[in-house]
Amino acid sequence: MEGKVSEVRIDMPIPKETCSICIDDNISAIQMFSVDICGHRFCSECVKRYIEAKLLEGNRLTCPHDGCHLELRYQSCVNLLTDELKKIWKQRIIEELIPVMERVYCPNPRCSALMSVKELSIIKSTEESGVRKLCVKCREPFCINCKVTWHKNISCDNYKILHPNSVANDSKLEALANKNMWRQCTKCQNMIELSEGCATVQCRCGHSFCYRCGANAGCCPHGHNFYDLRTGRLLYRPWCAALWTLVLLVVTVAGIVASVVFIILHFVRKK
């Protein structure tokens, strides 16, 4: 008589983890996202929102863990992205391959394709000459000097005279920047606004510099001091804040020790 072997299935409990972003300590391990290389883990929902915010703000996509500067990889995050976010991230990848000073955008509002100066110099066309270029995507001609659609039968200098708004807009932007104490990145020329905080800032292009004087990070006496940029007032220095925290800690510990000693003496006297 043959014996029968019955299968016993034991469902192992799925371990729970804590997401350091939302501080939820009851998240299933299968719902966690692990960052490549560094291995920091967060819940998938928080990573989704983090990536969306960074992409829409135009900021670098680094690991959300405090102090970790490793960059997130598109292929690792693709399953978390919507179609729109995939499109934005792919465009970002293309942009990063082109040096900032060589980026050219098609002035046609229906196109806005990204090109490079090098790419436009390689592509030759019988319709191209000097500053007149053809967009690689929409094939519409534009002036690479004036950054507008092609101004036929008119020089760049005359175009700027006849269309002073572009120059006026630049002046208005400069006046607005001065009024609001905006700063231009010393590398890519993008405008940056900082109302309060550490004087060392990082642009979306990755370049770090001093918001007060424009020097490269670490090359000026302002360091990581915290300022109110509206008034220029120094709020505090990090070492001062650390010293104050230490003082508070010592006072707190001293208070606890004093309380314990008081309780012990109280019981000793009773005996």
Q: How far is CA 208 from the centre of its chain?
A: 12
Between CA 205 and CA 190 the distance in angstroms is 9
Between CA 254 and CA 120 the distance in angstroms is 71
DSSP secondary-structure letter at 78?
A: G
Question: How many CB atoms sit inside 10 A of residue 13's CB?
Answer: 6
Between CA 226 and CA 242 the distance in angstroms is 13
Label the pairing between strands 196-198 and 32-34. Answer: unpaired
The DSSP-derived string for 194-263 is: -SEEESEEE-TTS-EEETTT-PBTTSSTTTT-EEETTTTEEEE-HHHHHHHHHHHHHHHHHHHHHHHHHH
Phi, psi of 191 (to 5 degrees): -80, 140
Catalytic residue among 198, 205, 219, 240: 198
Between CA 177 and CA 191 the distance in angstroms is 8
> 86 vs 61, 63, 77, 78, 102, CA distance in Å?
13, 18, 10, 7, 24
Question: What is the chain's alpha carbon radius of gyration, rounded to the nearest angstrom?
Answer: 29
Q: Is 198 a catalytic residue?
A: yes
DSSP secondary-structure letter at 22?
A: T
Residues with a catalytic annotation lie at: 198
